[in-house]
A and B are shown apart, each in its own frame.
Chain A
Amino acid sequence: MSTFLQACVNGLLMGGFYSLMGMGQNVIFGVMKIVNFCHGEMLMVGMYLTWLLHQTFGLDPYLCVPIVAVIMFCLGAVIQHTLITPALGTKSFTNLLFLTVGLGLLLSNGALVLFGSEYRSISTSYSMTYINLGPVTMALPRLISFGVLLVVSVALFTFLKYTTVGKQIRAVSQNPVGAEVVGINTKRIYILTYGLGVALAGIAGALLTGFYTIFPTAGASFGFRALIVVVVGGLGSIPGAFFAGIFLGLLETMVALFISPSYSDLIVFVTFIVILVVRQLIVLRRK
């Protein structure tokens, strides 16, 4: 029983990261209808940025989170303005596919050139601190990370729901023609959206460094999982992505506990395929 509870908690703590990644991907998809194939690499960039800030200024990784978020937002905004917006104009899905996949390759190989292939990590005074809650033990960095990402998720939801810019983002995602009619600058919204999505991936990266190793392809598995989260949680739905991320984290740890840790990737992707097939069947049945 206690191992089961422990697995649940571990799954929840990890699932939060998949949620954050999925929500970032979903904001971008919702507005521009493009899949950001370099989303995982953006997480990796966030990790290295945190590592650099920690190495050079001795900053605590959690204090780096807002700085990383701002830098990543700017990076995303520049990429959107200089590369993605012009590519959107061609209305070619292939162009955008190659663009974002290519950016991902560029980033992970750039990191390889700059930082080498060594595994790096950040150790803090509390890295090895554990909290006991009844039968469950939690590493303090994981717990703090989860707390921060919950706050970020709620903030994102509130931003989209209640602020003028948030409403404009939703307006563009629901009806770009209508948005132009009411005078919303769609190009500006695209820049904001991509910056926001990339910043969310960067925040996830920064939060991971407290307990996760940093290497050039560290983002890949998170990037893939973000895609699963988006598809399972519903394209464009922010709450959907949040719960799908948690579900995915729980599923992984359950598989690791009851079957074998080495099967967790396999089972995750099989589940993904099953959900896709079942959903398609339901759609066909309705028709």
Chain B
Amino acid sequence: MLKVSGLQAGYGAVNILWDISFQVGDGEIVAILGSNGAGKTTMVRAVTGILRPSQGSVEFNGQELAKKNARYILDHGIVQVPEGRQLFTEMTVLENLEMGAFNKETKAHFRENLDKAYGWFPRLKERARQAAGTLSGGEQQMVAVARALIGMPKLLILDEPSLGLAPNIVDDILEVARTMARQDGLSVLLVEQDITKALACADRGYVIENGRIALEGTSAELQANEHVKKAYLGI
């Protein structure tokens, strides 16, 4: 399980995250909600080691991971589907998926994990030899999710999966995450602007405002919260 406490991070002299603390249990789906510029993606970058946090701790299954490098954190099972997908557009779908196998263990299990990924997203099998950049937005998001699953995550971080995609495709992708959480005990951290969709999928949620956790609760509690209703749901 992931336990983040007192996380601070930023770029140069500009601090973005002030004090971020949250937890994700095994097999749990936790949503991190917030509007544009609230610090969600910075939080993802700090947790995954792409950005070194200036303070705080990221504890995962008893291991301290804050200030470790990105590769070390991947090796420990935290894999993200980044905002904007970040595929290798001129490489084939299959090559993109190969890039998801970053260490000995994931390379050894590549074949079976590839079959599993094709099972979740059959369309990728048909498109395996096609350049990733020629795929539709939804298919590209599937490649990004499949690439992360090939990294055999214990915690999957989905950063803005709804960005620029048709609602039914977002539902498909969230359904895969849900099923994997229920069946395989995968923990999921869902980082979203689309609060309605995120709370419909998640067990619990946290709201980030100005780089701080402003609210937390179960999905039902947050859906009923007056502040959330007013500020985010427009009710």
> Does chain A bind chain B?
yes
Query: Within the complex, which residue of B75, B87, B151 is in contact with A178, where a contact is CB–CB below 8 Å?
Result: B87
Residues on B with beta carbons closer than 8 Å to the beta carbon of A185 = 71
B90 and A182 within 8 A (CB): no
Q: Considering the chains assembled together, what is the distance between the CA atoms of A280 and B48 in angstroms?
A: 42
B95 and A167 within 8 A (CB): yes
Within 8 A of A (CB), among B41-62: 48, 50
Kindly report which residue of chain A lies nearest to residue B103, judged by CB atoms.
Answer: A183
Residues on A with beta carbons closer than 8 Å to the beta carbon of B147 = 182
Q: Considering the chains assembled together, what is the distance between the CA atoms of A181 and B75 in angstroms?
A: 12
Q: Assuming the A-B contacts A170-B91, A182-B100, are A175 and B86 also in contact, with contact meaning beta carbons closer than 8 angstroms in the complex?
A: yes
- Chain B positions 68 through 93: 1 when the CB is less than 8 Å from some CB of chain A, otherwise 0: 00110011000010100111111100
Cβ-based interface call for A276 (8 A): no
**B171 nearest CB across to chain A (Å):** 24
B98 and A183 within 8 A (CB): no
Residues on B with beta carbons closer than 8 Å to the beta carbon of A137 = none
A174 and B91 within 8 A (CB): yes
Q: Considering the chains assembled together, what is the distance between the CA atoms of A182 and B71 in angstroms?
A: 8
Interface size on B, residues (CB 8 A): 23
- Chain A positions 147 through 188: 1 when the CB is less than 8 Å from some CB of chain B, otherwise 0: 000000000000000001001101100110111111111000
A180 and B70 within 8 A (CB): yes
- Chain B positions 131 through 168: 1 when the CB is less than 8 Å from some CB of chain A, otherwise 0: 00000000000000001000100000000000000000
Q: Considering the chains assembled together, what is the distance between the CA atoms of A164 and B74 in angstroms?
A: 18
A181 and B82 within 8 A (CB): yes
Q: Considering the chains assembled together, what is the distance between the CA atoms of A109 and B232 in angstroms?
A: 66
* Best-buried of B87, B98, B99 by chain A (most CB within 10 Å): B99
Query: Within the complex, which residue of B70, B85, B95 is in contact with A183, where a contact is CB–CB below 8 Å?
Result: B70
Q: Considering the chains assembled together, what is the distance between the CA atoms of A179 and B50 in angstroms?
A: 11
Residues on A with beta carbons closer than 8 Å to the beta carbon of B91 = 167, 170-171, 174
Residues on A with beta carbons closer than 8 Å to the beta carbon of B89 = 174-175
Residues on B with beta carbons closer than 8 Å to the beta carbon of A183 = 70-71, 74-75, 102-103, 151
Q: Considering the chains assembled together, what is the distance between the CA atoms of A181 and B69 in angstroms?
A: 11
A167 and B82 within 8 A (CB): no
Interface size on A, residues (CB 8 A): 16
Q: Considering the chains assembled together, what is the distance between the CA atoms of A178 and B88 in angstroms?
A: 7
**A194 nearest CB across to chain B (Å):** 21
B90 and A174 within 8 A (CB): yes
Residues on A with beta carbons closer than 8 Å to the beta carbon of B88 = 170-171, 174-175, 178-179
Q: Considering the chains assembled together, what is the distance between the CA atoms of A120 and B91 in angstroms?
A: 46
Q: Considering the chains assembled together, what is the distance between the CA atoms of A167 and B95 in angstroms?
A: 8
Within 8 A of A (CB), among B182-235: none
B82 and A178 within 8 A (CB): yes
Residues on A with beta carbons closer than 8 Å to the beta carbon of B86 = 175, 177-178, 181
Q: Considering the chains assembled together, what is the distance between the CA atoms of A217 and B85 in angstroms?
A: 47
Residues on A with beta carbons closer than 8 Å to the beta carbon of B75 = 183
- Chain B positions 25 through 36: 1 when the CB is less than 8 Å from some CB of chain A, otherwise 0: 000000000000
Within 8 A of B (CB), among A168-220: 168, 170-171, 174-175, 177-185
Kindly report which residue of chain B lies nearest to residue A161, judged by CB atoms.
Answer: B95
Kindly report which residue of chain B lies nearest to residue A164, judged by CB atoms.
Answer: B98
Q: Considering the chains assembled together, what is the distance between the CA atoms of A286 and B50 in angstroms?
A: 38
Q: Considering the chains assembled together, what is the distance between the CA atoms of A175 and B70 in angstroms?
A: 16
Residues on B with beta carbons closer than 8 Å to the beta carbon of A167 = 91, 95, 98-99
**B92 nearest CB across to chain A (Å):** 10
Residues on A with beta carbons closer than 8 Å to the beta carbon of B74 = 182-183
A181 and B71 within 8 A (CB): no
Q: Considering the chains assembled together, what is the distance between the CA atoms of A183 and B72 in angstroms?
A: 8
Q: Considering the chains assembled together, what is the distance between the CA atoms of A151 and B171 in angstroms?
A: 51
**A165 nearest CB across to chain B (Å):** 12
**A30 nearest CB across to chain B (Å):** 11
* Best-buried of A167, A175, A182 by chain B (most CB within 10 Å): A182
Residues on B with beta carbons closer than 8 Å to the beta carbon of A182 = 74, 99-100, 102, 147, 151
* Best-buried of B70, B85, B88, B89 by chain A (most CB within 10 Å): B88
Q: Considering the chains assembled together, what is the distance between the CA atoms of A170 and B91 in angstroms?
A: 8
Pull 10 A–B residue pairs with CB atoms less than 8 Å apart, ordered by A: A167-B95, A167-B98, A167-B99, A174-B88, A174-B90, A178-B88, A180-B50, A181-B50, A182-B99, A183-B103
On A, residues with C-beta under 8 Å from B are 164, 167-168, 170-171, 174-175, 177-185
Shortest Cβ-Cβ A-B pairs, 8 listed: A178-B86, A183-B102, A183-B71, A183-B74, A174-B88, A171-B88, A181-B82, A182-B99
Given contacts A181-B48, A182-B99, 5 further A-B contacts (CB under 8 A): A164-B98, A175-B89, A180-B50, A180-B70, A181-B50
